[in-house]
């Protein structure tokens, strides 16, 4: 029996101490970049723990190839950027399996489930043998600790979960969370009768998140702590108009507040600082979360990064070889000192052994008599005769450390 896909919504991620992207921001990010993604082919996929990098190439009508990278830091944020970025970590087994399944597949559509923090990449492929379309979905859940799921005809075939789960549910039908956030309709939101603070209704039930929910309340002139079911007629009308205006406003703003960074799709009147405006929301996202971008680099640094990595490997191996040589030299020095200190005893044993080897007896008898000298040799020098090379008429000595 499969587990219920339960959700816990938080604006602040306890591990990183930064807020997660809201459903509203995810909607805007996909809206501004969808044309670069849909119709594109999956080129490469890289994965390590909570990080996923997808490279997409798309040929335009004029034969120009558009290269795009989508980098997910699950469950906190993702960014969409022109050009190929480099993943500076070893690809995981899950990443390799995902790449094998999706490499060279064409993205038919990129969707958000309502205003939820769930993103779907949909691939439709014609199965000629069965004469039917097989739908493959790559689903990224950006809530709780996050999950990456691959389905075929809605059956789970691959899954990587960052939260503890009882089983992998392979072969079972993928189910959306028990409660999904639908796209906000100003009329519907303004008529909410929920017995909950209006700021929480906006933030959680409609995917705006805390920052935008407080901005809506301020613009509408409503006490954010007032229960949604207790709003009067005028307040509901102000709320409807404000939400409509917020949904129409399309900006990409960066705010610096002391040592904290904030971004917004709309002008935040709740923040006094003057913002810096970006051309795209994805640029603002990259600015806000740049401290978490430690494992990727842009395509301009590709050659440099590869050379640097190669040089680092060479230097590491050289250091290891030097250390090994030092150890071997030290062992050789100790061996030489041991032989020098016990030269007289060793010489006497060698001379006696040479005489035995010259005798006209079989090798088995010679070996027995030579090895019998070990008792005396080990007692005096801690050196023993390990073996005999009859062809070279030589003794192989073992020097104990």
pLDDT, one tens digit per residue, over 334-392 is 778 877 887 888 888 888 888 888 888 888 888 888 888 877 777 777 788 888 888 77
- 386 vs 193 pLDDT, higher one: 193
Characterize the bridge pairing of strands 276-277 and 260-264.
Answer: unpaired
Q: Is 15's pLDDT higher than 70?
A: no
Q: How far apart are CA 110 and CA 31, in angstroms?
A: 10
Confidence of residue 305 (pLDDT cuts 50, 70, 90): low
Fold of 23-179+280-297: ibrinogen binding protein from staphylococcus aureus fold (2.30.310)
Question: How far, rounded to the nearest angstrom, does the alpha carbon of residue 108 sit from its chain's CA centroid?
Answer: 25
| Domain ranges, ordered by start, for the chain | 23-179+280-297, 302-336, 342-399
Cβ-proximal residues to 147 (8 Å cutoff; 6+ apart), any chain: 74, 139, 140, 141, 159, 160, 161, 162, 163
Question: In this structure, what token pair is assigned to residue 292?
Answer: 């978490």
Most confidently modeled of 106-110, 174-178, 204-208, 331-335? Answer: 106-110
SS3 301: helix
DSSP string, 91-110: PPHHHHHHHHHHTT-B--EE
Q: Is 182's pLDDT higher than 90?
A: no
Confidence of residue 119 (pLDDT cuts 50, 70, 90): very high
- 143 vs 392 pLDDT, higher one: 143
Question: In this structure, what token pair is assigned to residue 268?
Answer: 């935040």
| Whole-number percent of the chain with pLDDT over 70 | 89
**CA distance to 232, 326, 335, 386, per residue, from 330 (Å):** 88, 6, 9, 22
Q: How far apart are CA 211 and CA 11, in angstroms?
A: 9
User: b or e along 52-81 (b: 16 or more beta carbons within 10 Å of the residue's beta carbon)?
Assistant: bbbbbebeeeeeeebbbbbbbbbbbbbbbb
DSSP 117: S
Mean pLDDT of the chain: 85
* pLDDT at 6 (0 to 100): 54
What is the mean predicted confidence (pLDDT) over 83-92?
A: 88
**CA distance to 242, 329, 344, per residue, from 332 (Å):** 83, 5, 20
Q: How far apart are CA 292 and CA 172, in angstroms?
A: 34
SS3 8: coil
* pLDDT at 16 (0 to 100): 47
Burial classification of residue 225, based on how many CB atoms lie within 10 Å of its CB (0-12 exposed, 13-18 middle, 19 or more buried): exposed
């Amino acid at each position: 029996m499969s587990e219920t896909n339960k959700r816990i919504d938080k604006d602040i991620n306890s591990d990183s101490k930064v807020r997660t992207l809201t459903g509203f921001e995810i909607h805007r990010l996909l809206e501004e970049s969808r044309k670069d993604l849909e119709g594109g082919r999956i080129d490469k996929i890289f994965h390590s723990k909570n990080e996923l990098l997808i490279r997409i190439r798309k040929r335009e009508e004029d034969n120009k190839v558009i290269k795009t990278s989508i980098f997910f830091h699950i469950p906190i944020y993702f960014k969409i950027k022109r050009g190929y970025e480099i993943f500076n970590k070893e690809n995981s087994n899950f990443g390799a399996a995902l790449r094998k399944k999706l490499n060279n597949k064409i993205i038919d559509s990129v969707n958000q489930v309502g205003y939820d923090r769930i993103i779907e990449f949909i691939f439709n492929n014609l199965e000629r043998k069965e004469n039917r379309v097989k739908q493959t979905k790559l689903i990224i859940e950006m809530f709780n600790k996050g999950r990456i799921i691959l389905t075929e005809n809605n059956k789970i075939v691959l899954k990587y979960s960052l939260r503890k789960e009882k089983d992998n549910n392979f072969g079972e039908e993928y189910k959306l969370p028990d409660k999904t956030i639908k796209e906000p309709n100003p009329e519907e939101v303004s008529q909410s009768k929920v017995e909950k603070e209006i700021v929480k209704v906006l933030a959680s039930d409609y995917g705006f998140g805390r920052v935008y929910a407080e901005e809506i309340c301020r613009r509408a002139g409503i006490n954010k702590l007032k229960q949604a079911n207790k709003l009067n007629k005028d307040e509901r009308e102000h709320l409807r108009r404000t939400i409509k205006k917020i949904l129409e406003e399309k900006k990409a703003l960066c705010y610096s507040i002391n040592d904290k960074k904030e971004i917004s799709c709309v002008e935040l009147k709740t923040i006094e600082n003057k913002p810096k405006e970006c051309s795209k929301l994805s640029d603002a996202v990259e600015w806000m979360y740049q401290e978490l971008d430690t494992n990727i680099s842009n395509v301009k640094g590709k050659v440099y990064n590869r050379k640097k990595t190669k040089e680092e490997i060479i230097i590491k191996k050289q250091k290891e070889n030097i250390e090994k040589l030092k150890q071997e030299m030290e062992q050789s020095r100790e061996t030489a000192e041991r032989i020098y200190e016990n030269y007289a005893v060793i010489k006497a044993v060698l001379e006696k052994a040479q005489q035995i080897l010259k005798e006209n007896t079989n090798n088995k008898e010679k070996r027995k008599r030579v090895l019998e000298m070990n008792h005396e040799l080990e007692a005096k020098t801690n050196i023993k005769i390990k073996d005999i090379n009859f062809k070279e008429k030589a003794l192989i000595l073992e020097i104990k450390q």
